[in-house]
Amino acid sequence: MSCYEQENYFSDKYEILNKLGKGATATIKLAKKINGDNTIYVVKEFRKKCKNETNKEYLKKITNEFCIGFSLHHENIVKTFDLIEDRDGKWFEILEHCSGGSLYEKINSGKLKDINIINCYFKQILLGVSYLHSMGVSHRDLKPENILLDKTQQHIKIIDFGISAVFRSVYDRRKHLIDGLCGSQPYISPEEYLNHNHYDGEKVDIWSCGVIYYFMLFTEIPWGEANSSDTYYQSFVLRGKDFFPSLDAFTPQSLEGLLRMLDTNPQTRISLNELIYSNWIQGIQSCGSTKEYDSHGPYPIGLHHKHIELKI
């Protein structure tokens, strides 16, 4: 079963409302269905094919992102609805609209100061990432810019699977290492710099979560990149917790949790399951969720996940 099947053209179904922004690979716009209700969608208009890029390579990048997003169903993951071409050859991905802005904007505004709200957001991030990993997907670009808030500013949604990788398929439960140095520099794990051809996709996401939590607490990134050329990173390696600007925001459990997320050795870095079921995370009231979670992990009880074959 393919995760994508063209029915008609984009301009036959959707009306563009306005442009939100433009990145290296896509332009982000708002739209609504022409013959639908007033539901607002986010539209990701992908860049056109480069001259040195084959049509197969171009479509593989687009469909890989769409197929991963379309297969995910969790309250802390943005919904992916459709992938559709227009008459001029442009491709559009249709996504859930989260009107509360990004976590990055929230942090930079200076309005994220309440430790209870910080912890509430962070627990939701962990639950979303844990679900991704249960589906065999490593995000590889976790950062506050890729975490959105809904209109209530209580629910967070992880977005952008453009460089995500599948480390375990639906039909083969064995986990395999992934490769490629990618992501945003301050959030990339040290092992990716050291050995970017083979690394654990789950552990690199856990490292990124640690950097995100640091940024939420201190409103600044700890280093430019986690390698030996960065003096701030080297200072952290040498000083550990004494590198942090302050310890006032921590409980003993949260301090230990952050240090274990930022363990420079991926072999001893805390697992997501251990972190979620730690006294620290279990003690956080998850303000953005009303769902129960079963004993096997943070998955809504009774939800049957729809597995989509990735034909790319």
pLDDT at residue 96 above 90? yes
* Mean model confidence pLDDT for the chain: 89
Q: Give the angle subtended at the CA of 184 by the CAs of 178 and 186, to the nearest 5°.
A: 110
Q: pLDDT tens digits for 34-45?
A: 988 899 999 999
Q: Please state, in angstroms and as integers, the Cα–Cα distance from residue 153 to each residue in 9, 102, 148, 287, following that order.
A: 34, 10, 9, 10
For 8-27, how does the pLDDT look when each residue is reduced to its tens digit (9 = 90+)? 799 999 999 999 999 888 99
**For residues 136 and 125, what is the distance between their CA atoms, to the nearest angstrom?**
17
For position 4, what pLDDT does the model report? 58
What is the spatial distance between Cα 87 and Cα 100, in angstroms, rounded to a whole number? Answer: 33
**Residue 79 annotated in ligand binding:** no
Is residue 303's pLDDT more than 50? no
C-alpha dihedral over 225, 229, 231, 235, to 10 degrees? 80
**Cβ contact 271:207 at 8 Å:** no
63 Rama class: left (phi>0) / alpha (psi -120 to 50) / beta? alpha
The model's confidence at residue 62, banded by pLDDT at 50, 70 and 90, is very high
Whether residue 311 has pLDDT greater than 80 = no
Q: Average pLDDT of 264-291?
A: 88
CATH number of 103-282: 1.10.510.10
Contact 28, 22 (CB under 8 A): yes
Rama region for 219: left / alpha / beta (φ>0; ψ in -120 to 50; rest): left
Catalytic choice (114, 141, 205, 248)? 141
Residue 207 one-letter amino acid: W
Cα–Cα dist 32/27, whole Å: 16
pLDDT surpassing 60 at residue 7 = yes
Q: How confident is the model at residue 132 (pLDDT cuts 50, 70, 90)?
A: very high
Q: Catalytic annotation on 141?
A: yes
Domain range 10-96, CATH class? alpha beta
What is the model's pLDDT at position 288? Answer: 59
Is the per-residue pLDDT at 266 higher than 60?
Answer: yes
- Residue 93 · residue 31 · CB < 8 Å: no
Neighbours of 163 (CB within 10 A): 16
Bridge partners for 96 per DSSP: 41
Residues 6+ apart with CB under 8 A from 126: 209, 272, 275, 276, 281, 298
Q: What's the CA gap between 140 and 155, in Å, rounded?
A: 22
Name the residue ranges covered by the structural domains of the chain. Answer: 10-96, 103-282
Residue 283: its pLDDT value, please? 95
- Looking at residue 219, what is its pLDDT? 97
Measure the CA–CA gap between 35 and 18, rounded to whole angstroms. 18
**Maximum CA pair distance of the chain?**
61
Structure tokens at 238: 């040498």
Q: What is the pLDDT of residues 168-189, one digit of tens each?
A: 987 777 899 999 999 999 999 9
Poorest-pLDDT segment among 24-38, 128-142, 235-249, 262-276: 24-38
What contacts 24+ positions apart, CB below 8 Å, involve 277-282? Answer: 278/253, 279/253, 280/251, 280/253, 280/254, 280/256, 281/123, 281/126, 281/257
